[in-house]
Chain A
Amino acid sequence: MPDKDKDPEKGKPQDPEKGKPDDVPPGPPEDPPGSGEPPQPPGRRKVG
């Protein structure tokens, strides 16, 4: 399966239409519904 941290789009040729000022999509809302996620303690996998 693809590794989540590796962007499969990297290295692909750029869409020539992208980058035009008028086409910039709106960014995500500042506080998306469903937030409230605590930071995960670093490193260690939980198992059970």
Chain B
Amino acid sequence: MEVFWPRKERLEFELRALREAGIEYEIVSGDPTQLGELRIRLLSPLEGHDFDLDVIFPELYPYFRFQIGTKDVELGHHHNPFEGFLCVIGRGTDQWKLSDTVAKFVQERVPLTIGTGAESEREAVEGVEEQQAEPFSNYYPYADRHLLLIDGNWSIDPGIRSGSLVLGISRQPLNLPLKAIVREVRDNEGRVLAEFDDSVFTDGYRHTRYARWIRLEEPIRESDAAACFAAAQEQDSGASEGRITEFQGGHLRIIVTLFPEEHSWRDGQSGLGWVGVAQKNMRSGQEHFFIRVARAGRDDFSVRMPELQHMREQEIAVIGLGCLGAPSALEFSRMGVGQLRLIDPDFVDPPTTARWPLGRPVYGESKVKVLGQFIVAHYPRTEIPKVAPLKIGAIRSDSVVPGSEWEALESILDDASLIYDATGEHGVQRFLSEYARQTETPYVWVEGRQGGWGGLVGRAMPGEACWACIECAQADDEVASPPSAPDDVGWRQPQGCGDPTFTGAGFDMHTIAMSGVRAAVAALAEAADDYPARPWNVEVISLRDEDEGAAVPTWDVATVDRRSDCPVCVE
């Protein structure tokens, strides 16, 4: 298919504009009439400067911007030190306008960019440039998939110039790519300067390897990994031991360079940049590559959702791991809830995975088991100390959970910060809500309706309206009813299933599940800067109109007070 936009005409327009502006150029590579990148060189286009500028038009030009750059200047800002690109406009794709041309940028934006890029005084550029940090470590051409993890909270004594890193890897022998956690930063005498003290997270990295680290006054301005390694090695005057990391088929020498860099806008390089560079030695020869250093400390994970820090210490019992409970449990673990306890009797039946988070590798497995394993593997800061494949209240002909059901249940529910009931079972709700009421445990329940047409989220806090109060309010029509598909649309018995089930899309049920998660997070909020608490205790979610079909999704909320006629909580 031919491209659907006038690419060729636009490039011709660009070149004509350059000629009209008196800017000489030559085509370095590419052909304006063909697909592919077009590279041109502008010959000394800037007044007062004698260097050329390189311009690259991407294949999808002009939907996406051209890049202008030079490697003949060294700027502290707005300049990629390795590729030479100048940051003439902000990075967002919205910053590029069709009316922008190379000729115009050379006359207006490039001089401004070079001026602000060379400026070191923050006050001089305030209001001129975007307030965004430019960490130097971002510019290195890292090898795919290699990664070292550190804690962004670390502070390494600036007086110490070098030492060793104790790395943790997950498997022995080490297979590349290297994915390791920096367990300890040591000085040359072996004293620990910083350590990853989050044992829940580091437990997955049990085997030890070593690397070197050196502190530099400034980053090594070298994008070739071999040259960078040589430069780093030359500056490492410390002990040579602990520098070799064996892997299947050879050994690595790793040096991590630490240097001052920006972590917030024009902060005077008050942050610490970390860049790994490795020499890979094999029988077949030697290679070098850069290793990205990523931050994975507990606080690093909170940066994107500071309002959820209060969830770290919570212990939530999730009962029911269907298409409401399973995505809810995953969401709790993603946000870093301290502990989840899981109850569900089912195994993973293949067709149910059409609206369940995991798929084929877990067919036939116990839901509590595989979801628990998945969470521990992917989100290790959420502990899963207890799971039970219990069908609450059923006569048990097997001994999946030996002993007393009540004792098994109590061991899971005991001292939970919140009970999250996603069973959609009236009888189970009745039992669990009463347990919650008597133990003064917050109780949130979430339930869908046939067809995935709607659902309800309820919250019963200690001393407030209980689950039964809210059921009574619904029975008295004081709370709206979620829409529900009629049985001929919303109720099916799949082949071979012992019970009918409901129809409904996973994404509609997901909407209801996430409302339940939001209610649970809000119910556990305490401080002013936590995710906002909410005054209402019922949400009725409508995703369809029972008569018209499609509808604007609505959330009707209600605040049900304790009822004097409640058959449960009235005293």
Interface residues of A (CB under 8 A from B): 35-48
Contact = CB atoms under 8 A, between A and B. Distances in A.
Given A38-B475, A39-B475, A41-B474, A46 B568 contact: no
B567 A35 contact: yes
Contacts of B568: 36, 38
Given A37-B567, A43-B484, A48-B446, 8 more contacts: A36-B568, A37-B468, A38-B430, A41-B471, A43-B481, A44-B484, A46-B426, A48-B447
A29 to B, nearest CB: 16
A47 B447 CA distance: 6
B448 A46 contact: yes
Contact of B481 (A37, A41, A48): A41
Nearest to B320: A48
A19 B566 CA distance: 38
Contacts of A48: 320, 322-325, 422-425, 446-448
A47 B481 contact: no
Nearest to B429: A46
B449 interface: yes
A39 B468 CA distance: 8
Nearest to B454: A44
A43 B429 CA distance: 17
B502 interface: yes
A36 B567 contact: yes
Given A35-B567, A38-B468, A38-B568, A47 B450 contact: yes
Nearest to B504: A47
A45 B447 CA distance: 9
Q: Is the interface of B mostly helix, strand, loop or mixed?
A: mixed
Contacts of A47: 424, 447-450, 501-502, 504
12 contacts: A38-B430, A38-B472, A41-B471, A43-B481, A43-B484, A44-B449, A45-B491, A46-B429, A46-B447, A47-B448, A47-B501, A48-B425
A3 to B, nearest CB: 14
A46 B425 CA distance: 6
Nearest to A35: B567
Contacts of B322: 48
A35 B324 CA distance: 29
B488 to A, nearest CB: 13
Interface string B476-504: 00000110100000010000000001101
Interface in B423-458: 423-426, 429-430, 434, 446-450, 456
Nearest to A41: B474
A6 to B, nearest CB: 18
Most B CB within 10 A of own CB, among A39, A42, A45 = A45
Contacts of A46: 424-426, 429, 447-449, 456
B468 A36 contact: yes
A18 B325 CA distance: 51
Nearest to B482: A44
Contacts of A36: 434, 468, 567-568
A48 B426 CA distance: 11
Contacts of B474: 41
* In the A-B complex, the 9 residue pairs with the closest CB atoms: A48-B424, A41-B474, A38-B468, A38-B471, A39-B475, A47-B502, A46-B447, A44-B484, A46-B424
Interface string B400-432: 000000000000000000000011111001100
Contacts of B467: 38
Contacts of A38: 430, 467-469, 471-472, 475, 566-568
Interface string B227-250: 000000000000000000000000
Contacts of A40: 426, 471, 475
A38 B431 CA distance: 12
Contacts of B447: 46-48
A44 B566 contact: no
Nearest to B474: A41
Contact of B449 (A35, A39, A42, A45): A45
Contacts of A41: 471, 474-475, 481
B484 A45 contact: yes
A46 B457 CA distance: 11
A34 B255 CA distance: 70
Contacts of A45: 449-450, 484, 491, 502
